[in-house]
Structure 1
Amino acid sequence: MEKPKTKRVTIADVAQASGMSKAAVSMILNNKPGTRLSAETSERVRGVAKKLGYRPNAAAQSLRSGKTRTLGFISDQVTVTRFASEMITGILRAAEGRDHTVLIAETFGKPDQLAEAVTQMAHRDVDGLILGFMDSRQRELDLPSTGLPTVLVNGLDGNPSTAVLPNEYESGAKAVQRVIESGARTVAVIGQLENAENLPETYPSITRRFGSIQAALDKSDLEVVGHWVLEDWNPSDGYTATTQMLVEGHRPEAIICANDRVAMGVFQALAEQGLMPGKDLSVLSFDDEIIATYLRPQLSSIRLPYEEMGALAVELLLDGKLEPVEHQIDMPLIERDSMKNH
């Protein structure tokens, strides 16, 4: 037997229960300016509405305002990998805090699907778009003309646009300063990406990260005993580079790794030589993925602020702050056990 549908609570119901007119209740619940009702009365009406379970009619509000209170988020793999899932958390929480919902679409890393996803979001009358990227790259997006306000997260377009990125300009300097504070006198850097060296303008975040590291090293008294360029950022790449470095007789007092996956391979190579991070030398990394807490000892890492980037994108959209500029989010150093101290 079907359960009867629950009757929707209306403004008329709230008016009857509160002893107010429908016009007065409507002004209070829709936050209309110009009402002469007291704050005490307004609070009482809102309390009655909450008790009855009143919810505004979204369709009616949309007709009145021309807004659907819905944002579109299009991902190029963010939704299907674990690495940047906090971006979605930041977007959803910020949207909820502003009484908006979010529609999510995934392109699975296929550029030709992006235009179609944007068009589909426009057909669903979203109020704005957030495009989130797994890899912080500069792309030629060639988006269809929809008139929708758009913010990019963790990526850049060849055309000027509103973008939110991690502050890689300062991240490398922060890593070098922490190495200095550890008391190290020699350091190796493992992980500049080969493609980023060849095409620096295409990989802005990586280029900025390693440019910042190099500039800070140039100003320091640290002796650089190795700077290893990798084809990819996987544990096997970090392992191979570290093994080769030790075989060649280089024994740095600190290692700066490109990211946590590289650091995982570095840990393995060090363990095979009986060396322990945090005791025999310092190891510092970037990104602060979940594996940083699984390694033993736990890995100190400079965190990619995915959640904060997603939240800021929502705020920029809803506040109409859509100048074609980059908004940089600080990357905090998460201290764990892999760094030595004086």
Structure 2
Amino acid sequence: MPSQRPTLLQVAQRAGVSRSTASFVLAGRHVDMRISEEARQRVLRAAEELDYRPNLMARSLRTKVTKTIALVSDTIASDPYAGRAIHGSLAAAVAHGHLLFIGETEGDPVIEEKLISDLLDRQVDAFVYASMSTRYVRLPKLLRGSKVALLNCLTRAAAPAQHAVIPDEVAAGWSAAQVVVEAGHRTGIHLVGNLAEHVFAGRERVAGIREGLAQAGARPAGTIDCDWWPDPAYEAVHAALAGGLRPRVLICLNDRIALGAYQALREAGFTVPDDVSVLSFDDSDLAAWLRPPLTSIALPHYQMGWRAVELLLSPDAEPGVVRVPMPVRARASVGKPVDLT
């Protein structure tokens, strides 16, 4: 039969002080309550000898603070790559002495409502509301009035009432353009991927690419349209090459597109980067596995998760959108221009 955990009263009795004095010492209030250093040391020593741990449930009932945060996501909890955002959130929560509850809704509004309701019943202090892909969301009604940080998503409100942490996709596009320009490329630069306006990441990446190229006096030579997956990317690039296209650079809108582009280029007899330079976005594991390894602009999932929790727990942080930098992971897929004539 497990032994009972020591109580605050037992700590006080061993230290020879009142229960309230022991409580004030262990709560760090010995200064404002004018408790002597000698008494404080006796309480701390008694707590250590008894291996005393405070009853957090009882404390939360008194203070209405549970030191818990809930992360509610659509699918990032089960995605091995975007799951790094959970690792970042968890690390920040632990660093601040909080527990992190994690729940996934699979995008089902009924499951989401039930999950949030259950978490509210458990009196969590704050919520991280997360999305797998960067997009605009409508905050669930149940979360209105709660302390919330949006992770990888944002609302359309002109004056945000919550913190929102997203990747800086525009700056990432600009960085991709700079990689190309600094390698010496000014012409033959093609974008690969569907540029649909409703895709947040694609829209912002392309805006950054165009801005970065324009600053260097260059611009994209064209677009190879395809869905953001290897098979359609392979088919689209294969068809473009078969039709006579001779690109110098392919800027793929994500790593999966780059995989398809690699296959089409190799099949057509082109070598990366000697004949065609290729770079991409996301820096998934795929980027380092490709041969040659793919230069990619990394999604900072871990840093975003950490930042969301930091903002939640910072009493002075003003609500607003925080854009987290996306670093360039330079590898071997970008080379200097070659004469294709």
Instruction: Pick the TM interval, shorter chain.
Output: 0.7 to 0.9
DSSP-derived class of the 1:134 partner: strand
- Return 5+ residue gaps in structure 2 as ranges: none
Per the alignment, residue 169 of structure 2 pairs with: 168
CA gap 1:26/1:144 in 2 versus in 1, 3 angstroms: closer
CA gap 1:251/1:122 in 2 versus in 1, 3 angstroms: same
Report sequence identity in percent.
37
Q: Distance in 1 between matches of 2:13 and 2:310?
A: 37
Aligned residues: 332
Does the 8 Å contact 2:17/2:39 carry over to 1? no
Q: Distance in 1 between matches of 2:51 and 2:125?
A: 27
Report the alpha carbon displacement of residue 183 of structure 1 after superposing the two structures with TM: 2.1
Q: Which moved more, 1:92-101 or 1:272-281?
A: 272-281
Does the 8 Å contact 1:192/1:210 carry over to 2? no
Q: Distance in 2 between matches of 1:256 and 1:83?
A: 22
TM-score, normalised on structure 2? Answer: 0.86
- Return 5+ residue gaps in structure 1 as ranges: none
Report the alpha carbon displacement of residue 20 of structure 1 after superposing the two structures with TM: 7.0
Does the 8 Å contact 1:226/1:245 carry over to 2? no
Tell whether 2:233 aligns with 1:228. no
Deviation string 1:195-234 (CA, Å, 9 cap, x unpaired) is x33x4xxx4333221111112222323463321232x211
Q: Distance in 2 between matches of 1:249 and 1:239?
A: 16
Q: Distance in 1 between matches of 2:103 and 2:78?
A: 11
- Aligned residues: CA RMSD: 2.8
Give the 5 Å matches for 1:73-88. 73-88=71-86
DSSP-derived class of the 2:100 partner: strand
Counterpart of 2:5, as a letter, is R
Q: Distance in 2 between matches of 1:214 and 1:47?
A: 65
Counterpart of 2:222, as a letter, is G
Per the alignment, residue 29 of structure 1 pairs with: 26
Deviation string 1:165-204 (CA, Å, 9 cap, x unpaired) is 11112111110001111222331111143xx33x4xxx43
Deviation string 1:62-95 (CA, Å, 9 cap, x unpaired) is 1232111111111101112223101110111111
Does the 8 Å contact 1:154/1:166 carry over to 2? yes
Counterpart of 1:206, as a letter, is G
Q: Distance in 2 between matches of 1:45 and 1:284?
A: 61
Q: Which moved more, 1:247-256 or 1:35-44?
A: 35-44
DSSP-derived class of the 1:133 partner: strand
Give the 5 Å matches for 1:103-252. 103-144=101-142, 147-159=145-157, 160-162=160-162, 163-186=164-187, 187-193=189-195, 196-197=196-197, 199=198, 203-222=199-218, 224-230=220-226, 232-252=227-247
Report the alpha carbon displacement of residue 341 of structure 1 after superposing the two structures with TM: 5.6
TM-score, normalised on structure 1? Answer: 0.86
DSSP-derived class of the 2:224 partner: strand
Per the alignment, residue 308 of structure 2 pairs with: 313
